[in-house]
Amino acid sequence: MSLAGRHAMITGGGTGIGAAIAAALARAGARVTLAGRREGPLEETAKAIGAAGTVRFDVTDEAAVADGFARAAERSGPVSILVNNAGAAESAPFERTDTSLLRRMLGVNLEGAVHCIHAVLPGMREAGFGRIVTVASTAGLKGYPYVSAYCAAKHAAIGLTRALALETARSGITVNAVCPGFTDTDLVRGSVARVAAETGREEADVRASFTRANPQGRLVAPEEVADAVSWLAGEAASAVTGQAIAVAGGEFM
């Protein structure tokens, strides 16, 4: 599969799943732009994979997003592959899930994707080609306790994916989501440490509770998520749109 000549933008591209996706798309020949809030990880990953460049913005800031995409397009051409990977997860019992927490989760996980899609969709329509892939979560396909706001936001992101796929079905643009289960990233390792500290449990026990949800009994590797995104970004997946593909070892069927 070759993505030569395609400009790919990956939000949250400096670390974890985003960095793995960026590396996979770069290997496939795409001109890759990494977007995120922290300069250090962006520059480090960009150097490691030979990315075309980086742009810094917060996906919840609509004006900053538009400016970042404009700067990236000026340098590397219109974005034809958008990977909405930037996200955030906060946990709390529902009784302590107030509207502020809900708005934070919707802001990053849903509105951030909307801002980025608005920035690229006109150009994709004009070109007659586009790939939009949102990194959602199995939390967009099922419920988990203590993350009701996060689940609501990820379910909304998948609803957005399905609706936009229908609007763009005849335009050469595909719109899909990938839904990882618990993945071996710094974010999950931090969650394990936080739960252990809050509950007094051993980290190994907490980690085992995370892997228990996966019928394969393990965490997903970021590269496995990246492989799914790479396929969706290519010509071979041109008939695949409106899908939410679980990468979770059989956790969701």
Spatial neighbors of 151 by CB under 8 A, at least 6 apart, are: 139, 140, 143, 144
Catalytic member of 57, 129, 150, 210: 150
**Does the annotation mark 150 as catalytic?**
yes
Cα gap 101→112, rounded to integer Å: 15
Cα gap 130→107, rounded to integer Å: 24
Q: Are 87 and 106 in contact (CB under 8 A)?
A: no
Distance set, CA 187 to CA 21, 144, 202 (Å):
16, 17, 18
Structure tokens at 22: 């960026």
Cα gap 115→133, rounded to integer Å: 14
Measured CA angle at 64 (ends 62, 67), to 5 deg: 110
So which residues are the catalytic ones?
Answer: 150
